[in-house]
Structure 1
Amino acid sequence: MIEDFSGAVVGAAAYSAVGIVLMVLGYLVTDWLTPGKLGELIWTERNKNAAILLTSNVLGVGLIVVGAIWASEGGLLRGLASTFVFGVIGLAAMAFAFLILDWLTPGKLGDILTSEEHQPAVWVNAAMHLALGGVIAMALS
């Protein structure tokens, strides 16, 4: 019983670490795709558009991580590796979708999302992040 508990604790800590790494990568990708620095835009300038975009990215990545953990089979290391790989694939898909949406819509999404005035286009991008995270999560299960 103690071995089961300690194994569960190690697994939870390891999957948490992978999830945190993927969310940090998601932050960095989002920061890279948008003009300005997200940290400064959100915490210093209190930009709502940037906050909505980053929030949707974190939630989308979280959905992907949950789906990848749910679908993982085999031992802990194999599960962690598949979670990380599927998470990176999800981040790439989200970045690609951002670029496609930017190409299909008027204006530059990065500029719109970092605008000081509220922009409805940020909700479209946020919905895309969440929907794509859900699609990828379900594709894994």
Structure 2
Amino acid sequence: MNEILFNALATLAYGGVGTLILVVGYLLIDLLTPGKLHKLIWEERNTNAVILVSANTLGAAIVITSAILASESEMGLGAGLISTAVYGLIGLGVMALSFLVIDLLIPAKIAHMISDSEPHPATWVSASAHVAIALVLAAALT
């Protein structure tokens, strides 16, 4: 019974760390794009913003999941939570960096395309970069 209780509490702790990292990821995308994401997504139903936030969320979840799996067998709960947070934040940082690099390399500013109400294919480029980077980081953790 003690093992079930410990595992339940560990699950809640990892869920809390994961949720915190996802919130930080949302706030980071909100900082990188013009306009407020809340308004773009829920009020204006902006497809570009939805695609980018969705890819960022999936990417962060991939990194967080891999960090949890990598820490589970090698560390105690405290160290596992810390490593999950660190790797999750690294993932967000690298995804943000890719957003900025893509924005520098393409002729138009993707940050402005995200807030545009007209769907733009460049949004998919940035979104797929988020997921691809997350997969690379996840592989590095295993």
Q: State the distance in 1 between where 2:17 and 2:139 align.
A: 19
The match for 1:10 is 9
TM-superposition CA deviations, 1:18-53 (whole Å, max 9, x none):
000000000000000000000100000000100000
> AA paired with 2:33?
T
The match for 2:25 is 26
Q: State the distance in 2 between where 1:130 and 1:93 align.
A: 11
The match for 1:114 is 115
> AA paired with 1:114?
S
- 1:57 paired to 2:56: yes
Q: Runs of 5+ in structure 2 lacking a partner?
A: none
Q: CA deviation at 1:113?
A: 1.2
Q: State the distance in 2 between where 1:97 and 1:125 align.
A: 8
Q: State the distance in 2 between where 1:50 and 1:108 align.
A: 14
Give the count of matched residue pairs: 140
Q: State the distance in 2 between where 1:38 and 1:133 align.
A: 22
Q: CA deviation at 1:67?
A: 0.7
The match for 2:46 is 47
Q: CA deviation at 1:74?
A: 1.2
Q: State the distance in 2 between where 1:52 and 1:17 align.
A: 24
The match for 2:69 is 70
Q: State the distance in 2 between where 1:109 and 1:43 align.
A: 20
- Using the size of structure 1 for normalisation, the TM-score is 0.98
Q: Runs of 5+ in structure 1 lacking a partner?
A: none
The match for 1:132 is 133
Identity of counterpart residues, as a percentage?
46
Q: State the distance in 1 between where 2:137 and 2:21 align.
A: 14
Give the CA RMSD over aligned residues: 0.6
